[in-house]
Amino acid sequence: MLLELDHVAYTYTTRSQSVAALKDATASFAAGGLYAIIGKSGSGKSTLLSLIAGLMLPTGGEVRYDNVATRAMDLNRYRRDMVTVIYQSFNLFPLLTALENVAYPLELTGLKAAPARAEAARHIASVGLAEDLHRRFPDQLSGGERQRVAIARALATGSRLILADEPTGNLDEATGAVVVDLLADLARRQQVTVILVTHDRDIARQADEIYRMRDGVLLRNDPAV
């Protein structure tokens, strides 16, 4: 298993109260799998993704990537090299073009500008964006096009784990379907593990497994139901 949740819990503590946002979650995610997480607003879905992304450490239990607990890792490296998070509000650098957004993580690995751009162009082409869009800035692209750039960037980083928090939330149905197809294709063809938070049942149905969050409890959705 690429990723394992072992009795993972998370409690937010503020000055006045504590919120048990995640309670005792246990699950495993295989390489090449597409997983959907559904559940009401406030049920703990984003909290779970933040723990998997290494943005915070569990207050109980362990998140393990390749059998190593995030607690024991260099989290900066994990976040940079191992996981990519795609949000509903497109997290591209606004002052970089589409091509530069995808080239950026490649340059971080030490690749020179020209080969980084060449490789970035390949990744952008692979998500179906026409070449005349490569030089546009994010605010000159449609929502669906921006999500494709975000996916191309995930490909460029080479991360084997993509976490998508409502990636289709700002998109119309047809565009959302294209983005999900792309993620599903990535999972299947490149053995990337995709964990997708969605409110959309049709999208969730495309997943290999569906989990439901209810008041901080993660449940495997029975396929028979």
Instruction: Tell me if 31 sits within 8 A of 193, measured CB to CB.
Output: yes
Q: Name the minimum Å distance from CB 22 to ligand ATP.
A: 7
Q: Which is nearer to Mg ion, 46 or 159 (CB)?
A: 46
Q: Is residue 21 a contact point for ligand ATP (CB under 6 A)?
A: yes
Shortest CA distance to 99 belongs to which of 128, 120, 122, 126? 120
Give kind and range of the element (H or E) at residue 51: helix 45-52
Q: Is residue 93 a contact point for ligand ATP (CB under 6 A)?
A: no
Binding to ligand ATP (CB under 6 A) within 165-224 occurs at: 213
Beta-sheet strands, E only, within the chain:
3-13, 18-29, 34-39, 60-65, 68-69, 83-87, 161-165, 193-197, 209-214, 217-220
Q: How many residues appear in the chain?
A: 225
> CA-CA-CA-CA torsion for 63, 65, 69, 74, nearest 10 degrees?
-120
Q: Which is nearer to ligand ATP, 10 or 29 (CB)?
A: 10
Pick from 7, 26, 42, 108: which binds ligand ATP (CB under 6 A)? 42
Pick from 3, 10, 34, 46: which binds Mg ion (CB under 5 A)? 46
- Measured in whole angstroms, the distance separating CA 49 from the mean position of its chain's CA atoms is 8
Binding part of the chain for ligand ATP, among 40-48, 79-87, 106-114, 201-209 by CB under 6 A, reads 40-48
Q: Is residue 14 a contact point for ligand ATP (CB under 6 A)?
A: yes
Pick from 33, 44, 143, 176: which binds ligand ATP (CB under 6 A)? 44
DSSP code, position 80? I
Pick from 1, 9, 19, 178: which binds ligand ATP (CB under 6 A)? 19
Pick from 33, 35, 39, 157: which binds ligand ATP (CB under 6 A)? 39
Q: Rule CB under 6 A: which residues touch ligand ATP?
A: 12, 14, 19, 21, 39, 41-47, 213
